[in-house]
Structure 1
Amino acid sequence: MQLVAQGVTFGYPGRPVVDGLDLAVGPGDRIGLVGENGAGKSTLLGLLAGRLHPRSGSVRRHGTLAVVEQDLAVTDEDTVGTLVAATGSATRAAADDLQAAIDGFDHAGGDVAALSAAIARYEHLAAWDVDRRVDEGLSRLHAPRDLDRRLAELSVGERYRVRLACRLAERADLLLLDEPTNHLDAGGVAHLTAQLRAWAGGLVIVTHDRRLLDDVMTAVLDLDPSMDGRPVLYGAARYTDYRFARDQMLRRWRARYRAERKRARVLAERLDASYEGLSDEWRPPKGSDPHRRATRARQHVKAADRLIERLEAQAVDVPVPPPALQFPDLPSVPPGYAGGPLLEVRGPRVTGRLDLPGRRVEVMPAGRLLVTGANGAGKSTLLAALVGVVGLDRGTRDVAAGVRCGVLAQEGPAERVQAPDGAAPTAFDAYARHALDLLAAGALDPDALVPVAALGLLSEADLERPLRELSLGQRRRFDLACALLAAPHVLVLDEPTNHLSVGLVDELTAALRATSAAVVVATHDRQLRADLADWPHLDLGGSDRPA
C-alpha cells in the first residue's frame, strides 16, 4: 500500500471537516475525491500529504510522494529552472543508488535482492529520461519552458502547469492532485489523462471534471454527508454510475428522514393534546370525575413523553443536505428594447491577446454562444471585450440600451472585494458591497436585485463567515452569485465549472440551457462542451479540440 489512513479526524474551531475517515490506496488505485464546495476535499488532500496533521487517527505513506495543490507558494528567487532541477535531482538519486549498489556489490556473497530492487527502481523511474519527460510535459501542458523565468511573474495557471509537468515526470509512488484540469486546455487534459491512466503508483485526485472521473478513476470517494454521516467510497468507475448510486442513497435517506419527522409531529400533537386541560392553579376533589380525568391526562402525557424519548433515540441524525441551486428567472430583454443584438463586437483586436479581423461576434436576446480555444487563444480577452472590461485597440463594440450583464470571470469579486476599513468582510457584506458598486455604476435595477440567500449557493452560516475563510470552491460560488445579482439579460461565463462541485456543475448546466437570458460560455471542460454541443460555436483556434 502507498497510503493507509485510519480513523482520520480533523476540523477547525466550530467546524468539523473530516470525521473518522478510513482510506487505503495501493499501486494502480486511482481515487477521485468529490464533494460539495467546502466539504473538505483540499483539506483532506493536505492531511494525506502530511501538510496537515489529524487530531486523531493516522496517515501512513510508503514510498515517494508528489503533490500538486491549487496554491503554490513561491519566493522571488524561484524560477522554472528551480522546479526542473528539483525534479531531475529526485529521479537521479535512483541512478546514484544503483551505481553505489553496483560498485559495492560482492559477487561472492552480495545481496542479490537489494541489487535487483535498485535496478527495478532505476528502471521504474527511468532516470535517464527525466529531462525529456519534463520538457515534453512543459510543452504538452503549454507551460513556460524558459528556465530563467521567475515563478512569481507567472499567472496562477502557468505556475500550476509548470509544477504539474515536473511532478508527472517524477513518477512518484503516490501522486496527489488538486483540480488538475482547471488550468489545462483539451490538449493538456489529453496528455494528463494518458499519464494518469498509465500511472503505476497510487493516485488521489480532487476534481470536478466529470470526464476525468470517467476516463481515469477506479473509485470515487464522496465527502458529502451520507446516512451515517461519514464519507462513502463508491466502487463505480464511471461518473454516471456514481451519481446513480448516490442519488439512490439520498432517496432512501430522505424517505426515512421524512417518515421520522412525520412520526415526531404526530407524537408532538398527541403530547399537546394531552397537556390541554391540565392546570396547576386548582385541583378538583379527590375521587371526583374531574380529578380522574386530570389523572388520566397526566398519564397520557407521561406515555407520550416516553414515546418521544424512544423516537429521538432511534431517529436518524441527518445533517442538513447541501442546498440545491435555485436559479433565478432572468429577463431576456431590457424595457424599451428596440431590436438587434444585445452585445456586439466587430473586428476586435487587443494587442498581443486577441485579433479577429473581419469577425463579428453578436449576442441576441436569449441567444447562446460556446467559445473554445487553446490556452492563450484569447477566450477570456474576447469575453472581457464583449462586456467592456477590456478596451479594443481596433474594432467596435456596441451594447443595446439598458442591457445588464452578469460576468463570471476566472478572477471574480471574491478575490478583489475589501471592506472600507480594511477588515475582512463577510460573504454577505461583500455581496452588499458589490450591489452598491453596481448601483453606483448604473448597472443595477434595485427592483430586480437577486438576493444571495435565495440562490442556494451558500448556506446562511457561510454568508456570515469572512470571505477569506471560505474554500476556493465556496468563493467561486460567491462569484457566481455576484454574476446573477443584477438579474442580467446577458450571462458571460469564463470557465464556469472551475472549482465547483460535480453536483453543482450538473445543476448549473441544466439552468444555463433553460434560462431566458442570453448566455456566453468559454470553457475547456470536455463534458460541458459535450452538453452544450448544440449551441452556436466559436473556435478561436489552437489545440483545444475535444478528446
Structure 2
Amino acid sequence: MHLVADALTFGYPGRPVLNAVGLSASAGDRVGVVGENGAGKTTLLRLLAGDLVPTSGEVRRAGTVSVVPQQLDVEPGTTVGDLVRRTAGHVRAAAEHLDEVVAGFDHDAGDLTALAEAIAAAEHLAAWDVDRRVDEALTRFGAPRDPDRRLDTLSVGEAYRARLACHVAERADVLLLDEPTNHLDAAGIDYLTAQLQDWPGVVVIVTHDRRLLDDVMTAILDLDPSMDGRPVLYGATRYATYRFAKDQALRRWRARYAQERKRAEKLARRLDESYEGLSDEWRPAKGSQKHRRATRARIHVKAADRLVQKLEAEAVEVPVPPPALAFPDLPSIPTGYTGGPLLEVRAPRVAGRLDLAGVRVDLPPAGRLLVTGANGAGKSTLLAAMTGRLDLDRGHRAVAHGVRLGVLTQDDDSPERRRMTGFEAAARRALDLLEAGALDPAHVLPVAALGLVEETDLDRPLGELSVGQRRRFELAAALVAAPHVLVLDEPTNHLSIALVDALTEALRLTSAAVVVATHDRAMRADLADWPTLDL
C-alpha cells in the first residue's frame, strides 16, 4: 500500500490553487497537511482521493482508499444504518468472498493461491470484527447508534462523528481525513489518536490541531508557498520543530527579499542619475570634449541597465504573504459604566439541553472564562443562553447597559447567507446589530481591515469560499461592533494552524472580556490560567 503525488498542480477557472505538490507515503506514514485557509488543503485531499483530476502531475494509489471530508452531503431519508452498511460494505464483501471461496474449494484440485489471497484480504481487514468495531467507534466518538436515526435530523457534529466512526472501522489502506477533531470532545480525540497511531496503512490528515500533529504525525506538508513557490514537506514530528524550521525559512526569505529590494532601489537611483548626466551632456560648455563625455555617459547608462536586468533575472518573486491577523484594540467598558459584571447568568436551564442549578457566571470587565466539557454537555447551549440567542426556562441573565457583544457560533451556513458576498453579509450583520441597538456607529470595525479575509474574497459569494475562509469571515464579523465581550464557540475550528497561534495570543492580550468554549487541547493548555467552567 502506498500513496504518491507527483508534481501535482490544480486550479479552478481564474484561480490557481496547487503548484507542483510532491508527496510519497507508504505503510505507517502519517502526514499532516497544514497551510493558510484557501491554500488548497481540502482540494489536495480530493485530488489524492481521485474526486478531482489534476491539471498536471499524477496521483498513484495502491490499496483501498477511505476519505472523510469536512462536509457531509446527506441524501433525504438516509439513516445511520445506511451509512454503516455503505461505508463498511467492502469489508463485508471480503468476508463474503472468503466464505464463497471456502465453500466452493476443492481440496483435491483447488486453487491454493486464490484461497490464500481471500484469507489474507479478510485477515487484513479483520472482516469478522467489523460490526464490533463500528459499534465501538460510534460509542467512543459519541455518535448516534440507532440505525433508524435519519442523518438529516442529526446535528452537524453528530452526523460527522457517525461518518468518521464508520470510516475508522473500515481499516482502509489509505485514510484521508479533513479536520477530524473539529466535532470531537477530549475522549473522542483520545480514541482517534490511538487508532491513528496504530494505523497499518497510510494516513493523510488536514488539521489545525497542534496536539494531534505532535501525537500522530511522522511528517508535515505545508501548502503555504516557500521561496521557490512550492509547498514544503517537513520531516518534523513535533509542531514546535516544524514552526521553528518554517519561521527560520521565512526569516531568510524576507531578509533576501529586503536585500534585493534595497539593491534594486540603489541601482534605479544610479540609472536615473546616469540618464540625467546623459541629458546634461548634450549641451556641454564650449571646448569640453562633448562627444567623449556623452559617450562615457552612455556607457554608464548601459552598465546600469545591464545591472538592473541582471538583478531582475535573479530576483526572488515573493508571492503576496497571507494576511496577518490585525486584532483590534477592543474596549473594556461601555460609556457610563457604573460597576458590576458586564454579563451575568445564574442557574440557567434550557429544557432537555442544559441545567446548571446553583451555578453563577459573572464576567467583569476584561474578565476571562474557559468553558469545557464532553459533547452534549451543553457548552454551546450555555453560550447561546449567555448571549441571548436562547431563552431560559429557568434562571436569570443580565447584561450591563451599553455592553456590546461579539459572538462566534459553530455553524451559520444558511443557503441565503451562502449566496451573499462577504461585503453584503457584513453589511447585513451591522444593520441587524444597529437595529437591535447593539452597535455604535462611531465604533464599527471594517472586516477588510482585520487581516482575516482578503478584499478580493469579500467580493465573492460566501458559498464559493473554503470552509476555513468562511470561518475567518465569521470571526471578522464577530468583531464588527468593537465588542466589550467576546463569546467564541470552538473558535479554532477550520482555521489555519498559524492563525490559531495568533488568535490565542490575541485573546490573552485583548482588553475585552472573553468567553471561549473549546475542545482544542493546545488552546486549553495555552489558556489554562483562565477561570474554567467544566460542564
Q: Which residue of 1 aligns with 2:467?
A: 472
Q: Which residue of 2 aligns with 1:545?
A: none
1:341 deviation in Å?
0.3
Q: Which residues of 2 match residues 402-417 of structure 1 at below 5 A?
A: 402-412=402-412, 415=414
Provide the rounded CA distance (Å) in 2 between the counterparts of 1:78 and 1:384.
30
Letter in 1 for 2:185: D
1:284 deviation in Å?
6.4
Percent identity between the two aligned chains:
72
Q: Which residue of 1 aligns with 2:505?
A: 510
Q: Which residue of 2 aligns with 1:67?
A: 67
Q: Which residue of 2 aligns with 1:491?
A: 486
Check conservation: 1:213, 1:238, Cα contact below 8 A. yes
1:381 deviation in Å?
1.0
Q: Which residue of 1 aligns with 2:43?
A: 43
Letter in 1 for 2:467: L
Distance change >3 Å, CA 237–CA 35, structure 1 → 2: same
Provide the rounded CA distance (Å) in 2 between the counterparts of 1:111 and 1:250.
60
Provide the rounded CA distance (Å) in 1 between the counterparts of 2:534 and 2:97.
50
RMSD between superposed Cα atoms in Å:
2.0
1:213 deviation in Å?
0.6
Q: Which residue of 2 aligns with 1:237?
A: 237
Letter in 1 for 2:254: R
1:170 deviation in Å?
0.7
Check conservation: 2:281, 2:293, Cα contact below 8 A. no
Check conservation: 1:283, 1:291, Cα contact below 8 A. no
Q: Which residues of 2 match residues 134-533 of structure 1 at below 5 A?
A: 134-276=134-276, 289=289, 292-412=292-412, 415=414, 418=417, 424-533=419-528
Provide the rounded CA distance (Å) in 2 between the counterparts of 1:405 and 1:539.
23
1:119 deviation in Å?
1.8
Letter in 2 for 1:398: A
Q: Which residue of 2 aligns with 1:120?
A: 120
Provide the rounded CA distance (Å) in 2 between the counterparts of 1:294 and 1:428.
58
Provide the rounded CA distance (Å) in 2 between the counterparts of 1:110 and 1:34.
51
Paired residues, number: 535
Provide the rounded CA distance (Å) in 2 between the counterparts of 1:330 and 1:400.
17
Letter in 1 for 2:494: H
Larger deviation: 241-250 or 454-463?
454-463
1:288 deviation in Å?
5.1
Provide the rounded CA distance (Å) in 1 between the counterparts of 2:142 and 2:360.
28
1:181 deviation in Å?
0.4
Check conservation: 1:323, 1:459, Cα contact below 8 A. yes
Letter in 2 for 1:115: L
Question: SS of the counterpart of 1:446?
Answer: coil
- The one-character-per-residue Cα deviations of 1:181-224 (angstroms, maximum 9, x if unpaired) are 00111111111111111111111111011111111111111100
1:105 deviation in Å?
4.4
Distance change >3 Å, CA 293–CA 435, structure 1 → 2: farther
- The one-character-per-residue Cα deviations of 1:350-385 (angstroms, maximum 9, x if unpaired) are 111111112111111000000011111111111111
Provide the rounded CA distance (Å) in 1 between the counterparts of 2:299 and 2:324.
44
Provide the rounded CA distance (Å) in 2 between the counterparts of 1:495 and 1:291.
76
* Structure 1 unmatched ranges of 5 or more: 541-547
Provide the rounded CA distance (Å) in 2 between the counterparts of 1:287 and 1:461.
61
Question: SS of the counterpart of 1:82?
Answer: helix
Larger deviation: 274-283 or 385-394?
274-283
Provide the rounded CA distance (Å) in 1 between the counterparts of 2:70 and 2:323.
25
Provide the rounded CA distance (Å) in 2 between the counterparts of 1:287 and 1:102.
110
Provide the rounded CA distance (Å) in 2 between the counterparts of 1:60 and 1:260.
40
Provide the rounded CA distance (Å) in 1 between the counterparts of 2:262 and 2:426.
37
Question: SS of the counterpart of 1:478?
Answer: helix
* Structure 2 unmatched ranges of 5 or more: none
Distance change >3 Å, CA 35–CA 55, structure 1 → 2: same
1:97 deviation in Å?
2.5
Check conservation: 1:347, 1:396, Cα contact below 8 A. yes
1:446 deviation in Å?
2.0
- The one-character-per-residue Cα deviations of 1:395-420 (angstroms, maximum 9, x if unpaired) are 111110110111111124x65764xx
1:5 deviation in Å?
1.4
Provide the rounded CA distance (Å) in 1 between the counterparts of 2:448 and 2:529.
33
Question: SS of the counterpart of 1:98?
Answer: helix
